[in-house]
A and B are shown apart, each in its own frame.
Chain A
């Protein structure tokens, strides 16, 4: 079965630097991959979706890459700000159902002022 691995240790960086978060999957390559942001006590909020035939997607200070050979997605936040501090989740579509997503446990990002 598909497993998603995100670094469980918090990523602690200085304001202004680029944060890079990793999402690895173990089995089949998904048709698409999504990234979400979750703040404490709140539901996840959708950020970006990238399809298997796309190498890179950008939205303002956010960039996502998708490498099906490495079975990995990287999520970058450039010029990071303390307000970017949150937990970031990656999610993949399930092989037998494009309706359903499998979520990683998330990586917590802390941006120091």
Chain B
């Protein structure tokens, strides 16, 4: 079974801090994704990566950046955290086009 592991289940940070969310997958998948999920808004794509060192903006990239130095690891960075970035963050990976996405259990991030 594919396993996608997110580094923290819960995280509390302060406004203005630089925040790192880490995600690791163990299935050698090429594609990795970062979403945020808010009540009533569903899952919204922040960034995705289709190869090492490659990245593309999703629907809501503002205030975020990503890093993919190794195939199995995809990091989401909040450059200067703000309260409107309080949310559930979900990482996913997939094996290619038309393939299902496999999700981690999410990081519930609170920015105070």
Chain A residues proximal to chain B, CB less than 8 Å: 8, 31-32, 34, 41-46, 49, 51, 89, 91, 93, 98-101, 103-106
Q: Which of B68-112 contact A (CB under 8 A)?
A: 90, 92, 94, 97-98, 100-106, 108
Closest 6 CB pairs of A and B: A43-B103, A46-B100, A105-B42, A103-B43, A98-B97, A43-B105
Q: Which of A41, A42, A46, A51 is close to B101, meaning CB atoms less than 8 Å apart? A: A46
Chain B residues proximal to chain A, CB less than 8 Å: 4, 31, 33, 35, 40-43, 45, 48, 50, 58, 90, 92, 94, 97-98, 100-106, 108
Contact present for A100 and B45 (CB under 8 Å): yes
Q: Which of B4, B94, B98 is close to A31, meaning CB atoms less than 8 Å apart? A: B98
How far is B102's CA from A93's CA once the two chains are assembled, in angstroms?
15
Contact present for A93 and B103 (CB under 8 Å): no
Contact present for A46 and B106 (CB under 8 Å): no
Which residue on A lies nearest to B6, using beta carbons? Answer: A43
How far is B37's CA from A41's CA once the two chains are assembled, in angstroms?
11
Contact present for A101 and B97 (CB under 8 Å): no
Contact present for A49 and B90 (CB under 8 Å): no
Choose among A51, A98, A99 the residue with the greatest number of B CB atoms under 10 Å from its CB: A99
Contact present for A46 and B102 (CB under 8 Å): yes
Q: List 7 A-B contacts (CB under 8 A).
A: A42-B105, A46-B100, A49-B98, A100-B58, A103-B43, A105-B42, A106-B42
Q: Which of A8, A31, A43, A51 is close to B90, meaning CB atoms less than 8 Å apart? A: A43
* Interfacial chain B residues near A98, Cβ < 8 Å: 97-98
Contact present for A43 and B106 (CB under 8 Å): yes
Contact present for A99 and B100 (CB under 8 Å): no
* Interfacial chain B residues near A32, Cβ < 8 Å: 98
* Interfacial chain B residues near A105, Cβ < 8 Å: 40-42
Q: How distant is A91 from chain B, measured CB to nearest CB, in Å?
A: 8
Contact present for A103 and B42 (CB under 8 Å): yes
* Interfacial chain B residues near A41, Cβ < 8 Å: 105-106, 108
